[in-house]
Amino acid sequence: MITFRPMTKDEYPAFLEYFVNDYACEIKSNYGESLHDSLARAKQEISEMLPDGVNTLGQVLMCIIVQSGKANSHVGYLWYKPDSTKRTVFIYDFHIFNPCQGAGLGKQSLRAFEAYLQEKGFKEIRLRVAGDNARARHVYETSGFGVTGVNMSKSITD
Protein backbone atom coordinates (compact mmCIF):
# COMPACT_ATOMS: atom_id res chain seq x y z
CA MET A 1 0.00 0.00 0.00
CA ILE A 2 1.24 3.49 -0.88
CA THR A 3 1.01 6.29 1.66
CA PHE A 4 2.44 9.77 1.95
CA ARG A 5 4.02 11.63 4.82
CA PRO A 6 5.44 15.12 5.13
CA MET A 7 9.11 15.41 4.28
CA THR A 8 11.20 16.23 7.33
CA LYS A 9 13.73 19.01 7.60
CA ASP A 10 16.45 16.33 7.82
CA GLU A 11 15.29 14.70 4.56
CA TYR A 12 15.18 17.97 2.63
CA PRO A 13 18.93 18.13 1.78
CA ALA A 14 18.77 14.71 0.04
CA PHE A 15 15.68 15.84 -1.89
CA LEU A 16 17.43 19.08 -2.83
CA GLU A 17 20.53 17.25 -4.06
CA TYR A 18 18.44 14.88 -6.21
CA PHE A 19 16.14 17.62 -7.51
CA VAL A 20 18.78 20.19 -8.42
CA ASN A 21 20.85 17.65 -10.35
CA ASP A 22 17.82 16.14 -12.09
CA TYR A 23 16.38 19.53 -12.99
CA ALA A 24 19.77 20.79 -14.21
CA CYS A 25 20.00 17.78 -16.56
CA GLU A 26 16.51 18.59 -17.86
CA ILE A 27 17.47 22.23 -18.44
CA LYS A 28 20.67 21.20 -20.22
CA SER A 29 18.84 18.67 -22.40
CA ASN A 30 15.88 20.86 -23.29
CA TYR A 31 17.50 24.28 -23.54
CA GLY A 32 21.07 23.48 -24.55
CA GLU A 33 22.63 25.33 -21.65
CA SER A 34 25.98 24.22 -20.24
CA LEU A 35 25.91 21.97 -17.19
CA HIS A 36 27.41 24.80 -15.13
CA ASP A 37 24.68 27.27 -16.22
CA SER A 38 21.98 24.60 -15.86
CA LEU A 39 23.04 23.87 -12.27
CA ALA A 40 23.09 27.58 -11.43
CA ARG A 41 19.62 28.06 -12.93
CA ALA A 42 18.21 24.99 -11.13
CA LYS A 43 19.63 26.17 -7.78
CA GLN A 44 18.28 29.68 -8.30
CA GLU A 45 14.79 28.51 -9.27
CA ILE A 46 14.41 26.09 -6.36
CA SER A 47 15.67 28.70 -3.89
CA GLU A 48 12.98 31.06 -5.20
CA MET A 49 10.21 28.44 -5.12
CA LEU A 50 11.14 26.86 -1.78
CA PRO A 51 12.75 29.71 0.20
CA ASP A 52 11.89 28.05 3.51
CA GLY A 53 12.45 24.45 2.41
CA VAL A 54 9.87 22.04 3.83
CA ASN A 55 8.24 24.96 5.67
CA THR A 56 7.57 27.05 2.54
CA LEU A 57 4.02 28.34 2.75
CA GLY A 58 1.77 27.02 -0.04
CA GLN A 59 4.12 24.21 -1.10
CA VAL A 60 3.80 20.59 0.01
CA LEU A 61 6.80 18.25 0.09
CA MET A 62 5.98 14.61 0.76
CA CYS A 63 7.78 11.30 0.96
CA ILE A 64 6.21 8.36 -0.86
CA ILE A 65 6.07 5.32 1.38
CA VAL A 66 5.33 1.68 0.56
CA GLN A 67 3.78 -0.12 3.52
CA SER A 68 4.36 -3.85 3.45
CA GLY A 69 3.32 -5.64 6.62
CA LYS A 70 5.03 -3.85 9.48
CA ALA A 71 7.82 -2.47 7.28
CA ASN A 72 7.76 0.94 5.64
CA SER A 73 10.02 1.81 2.71
CA HIS A 74 10.67 5.35 1.50
CA VAL A 75 10.54 5.00 -2.31
CA GLY A 76 10.26 8.54 -3.64
CA TYR A 77 9.28 12.19 -3.43
CA LEU A 78 6.23 14.25 -4.31
CA TRP A 79 6.23 18.06 -4.39
CA TYR A 80 3.02 19.87 -5.19
CA LYS A 81 1.19 23.14 -4.75
CA PRO A 82 -2.49 23.04 -3.86
CA ASP A 83 -4.95 25.70 -5.02
CA SER A 84 -7.92 25.39 -2.69
CA THR A 85 -9.95 28.00 -4.57
CA LYS A 86 -9.78 26.14 -7.90
CA ARG A 87 -9.59 22.76 -6.10
CA THR A 88 -6.56 21.79 -8.17
CA VAL A 89 -3.00 20.81 -7.41
CA PHE A 90 0.08 21.30 -9.53
CA ILE A 91 2.79 18.67 -9.24
CA TYR A 92 6.24 20.23 -9.43
CA ASP A 93 8.11 17.00 -8.87
CA PHE A 94 7.20 13.34 -8.68
CA HIS A 95 10.07 10.89 -8.39
CA ILE A 96 10.38 7.19 -7.64
CA PHE A 97 13.95 6.35 -6.63
CA ASN A 98 15.87 4.67 -9.47
CA PRO A 99 16.29 1.26 -7.72
CA CYS A 100 12.50 1.19 -7.14
CA GLN A 101 11.48 2.02 -10.72
CA GLY A 102 9.93 -0.56 -13.01
CA ALA A 103 7.76 -2.17 -10.33
CA GLY A 104 4.60 -0.13 -10.96
CA LEU A 105 5.16 2.16 -7.98
CA GLY A 106 4.75 5.31 -10.06
CA LYS A 107 1.26 4.34 -11.22
CA GLN A 108 0.33 3.06 -7.76
CA SER A 109 1.54 6.31 -6.19
CA LEU A 110 -0.48 8.42 -8.63
CA ARG A 111 -3.63 6.39 -7.88
CA ALA A 112 -3.04 6.77 -4.14
CA PHE A 113 -2.42 10.50 -4.59
CA GLU A 114 -5.67 10.87 -6.54
CA ALA A 115 -7.59 9.14 -3.74
CA TYR A 116 -5.84 11.30 -1.14
CA LEU A 117 -6.79 14.47 -3.02
CA GLN A 118 -10.37 13.37 -3.66
CA GLU A 119 -10.85 12.91 0.09
CA LYS A 120 -9.75 16.54 0.50
CA GLY A 121 -12.18 17.80 -2.17
CA PHE A 122 -9.71 18.45 -4.98
CA LYS A 123 -10.92 17.96 -8.56
CA GLU A 124 -7.86 18.09 -10.82
CA ILE A 125 -4.13 17.34 -10.90
CA ARG A 126 -1.91 19.33 -13.23
CA LEU A 127 1.75 18.92 -14.07
CA ARG A 128 4.43 19.57 -16.67
CA VAL A 129 6.67 16.86 -18.05
CA ALA A 130 9.74 17.31 -20.22
CA GLY A 131 9.10 16.35 -23.83
CA ASP A 132 12.09 14.01 -23.90
CA ASN A 133 11.13 12.16 -20.70
CA ALA A 134 9.45 9.18 -22.35
CA ARG A 135 9.32 7.10 -19.17
CA ALA A 136 7.48 9.79 -17.19
CA ARG A 137 5.16 10.56 -20.08
CA HIS A 138 4.26 6.87 -20.29
CA VAL A 139 3.44 6.71 -16.57
CA TYR A 140 1.29 9.84 -16.75
CA GLU A 141 -0.50 8.90 -19.97
CA THR A 142 -1.31 5.36 -18.78
CA SER A 143 -2.56 6.92 -15.53
CA GLY A 144 -5.11 9.01 -17.44
CA PHE A 145 -3.30 12.33 -17.85
CA GLY A 146 -3.85 14.12 -21.14
CA VAL A 147 -1.79 16.71 -22.98
CA THR A 148 -3.13 20.23 -22.42
CA GLY A 149 -0.42 22.15 -24.26
CA VAL A 150 3.06 21.93 -25.67
CA ASN A 151 6.04 24.03 -24.56
CA MET A 152 8.24 25.13 -27.43
CA SER A 153 11.39 27.19 -27.79
CA LYS A 154 13.81 28.34 -30.45
CA SER A 155 17.30 29.69 -29.94
CA ILE A 156 17.85 32.89 -31.91
CA THR A 157 21.52 33.29 -31.11
CA ASP A 158 24.46 31.82 -33.02
pLDDT at 95: 94
pLDDT at 158: 64
Q: Which CATH fold topology does 2-142 show?
A: Aminopeptidase (3.40.630)
pLDDT at 8: 97
- For the chain, 158 residues long, the average pLDDT of each consecutive 10-residue run is 96 96 90 92 96 97 92 95 96 93 92 95 92 85 87 73
pLDDT at 106: 93
CA distances from 32 to 17, 18, 37, 93, 98 (A): 21, 20, 10, 21, 25
pLDDT at 148: 86
The whole model's pTM is what? 0.90
pLDDT at 91: 96
pLDDT at 153: 73
3-state secondary structure of 4: strand
